[in-house]
Amino acid sequence: MFSIFRKKKPEEPFPFHLVGTDMHSHILAGIDDGSPDLDVSTTLVKGLLDLGYSKLTATPHVMEDLFRNTKRTIQEAHNNLQLKLAEEGIQVPIRFAAEYLLDGNVDTMLAKKVPLLTLKDNLVLVEISFVSPPMYLREVLFELQMKGYQPVFAHPERYFFYHTKPAEYSDIKDMGCLFQCNLLSFSGYYGPPVRQAAEYLVKHGMVDFVGTDIHHEKHLQALRELTQTPSLARLIHEKGVMNTRL
């Protein structure tokens, strides 16, 4: 006897290989709130490769009051990871850049013409406080561009103060920003409001990059469970993302 109930179509896993490069990760050991040591870093790198990534970019936090990383500290951590991976027989291209909080430290670096670490060419990953938007956002984004940088706005969907003012997203795009969304935002990992904001950004064609923003093994497990949501399918197969250019 045939069942009167239609079987639910199995959810397809997300095709990480079509993204190619993870351009937002915290896989360097011991320099921010990401991987605490080289063993965890190795586990995260192996996990990202198993998902289907072919290139990785480490983007540790640079924050004036918390993670005062510089090119020296980041490059040293990158070198240590490369040595560890070589010992493990793991070969993967890993670039290092940074995720800059738009604070006084960035103002100082720009004023002193200290080169920022970029994802590639002039692309620089930036974030803002999760508490409230900076009053000088327009000015600092303008200054970045005057210095020749193309700002990439990290995880705009996670800033709750924009959820009730979606027009702010258009304003930031009009300021010359590219947008990077976290893949786990589409799974509801950060909660329904963040998922809805991510879907809104895809619907309005505002998403340019996607990243894992991976910090720890809990993120890795959640990424393994990520499925091809309608919004992600639309983004990857219709609009496309710029990760493949990195």
47, 89, 211, 216 from 154: Cα distances, Å: 22, 32, 9, 18
- Cβ atoms of residues 183 and 229 within 8 Å: no
pLDDT in tens, 183-233: 999 999 999 999 999 999 999 999 999 999 999 999 999 999 999 999 999
Distance CA 96, CA 103 (A): 21
170-186 confidence digits (pLDDT tens): 999 999 999 999 999 99
Query: What's the pLDDT tens digit per position in 80-106?
Result: 999 999 999 999 999 999 999 999 999
Instruction: State mean pLDDT over 35-46.
Output: 98
Q: Position 42: which residue type?
A: T
Is 100:125 a contact under the CB 8 Å cutoff? Answer: yes
Could you give the domains of the chain?
Answer: 16-245 (3.20.20.140)
Q: In what order do the strands lie in the sheet with 123-127?
A: 61-62, 99-101, 123-127, 150-154, 178-182, 209-211
Which H or E run contains 107? helix 104-111
What are residue 151's phi and psi, to 5 degrees? -70, 135
**Side-chain half-sphere CA neighbours of 112 within 13 A:** 9
Structure pTM? 0.95
Q: What is the model's pLDDT at position 10?
A: 67
Structure confidence by residue, pLDDT tens digits, 113-156: 999 999 999 999 999 999 998 889 999 999 999 999 999 999 99
- pLDDT tens per residue, range 54-72: 999 999 999 998 999 999 9
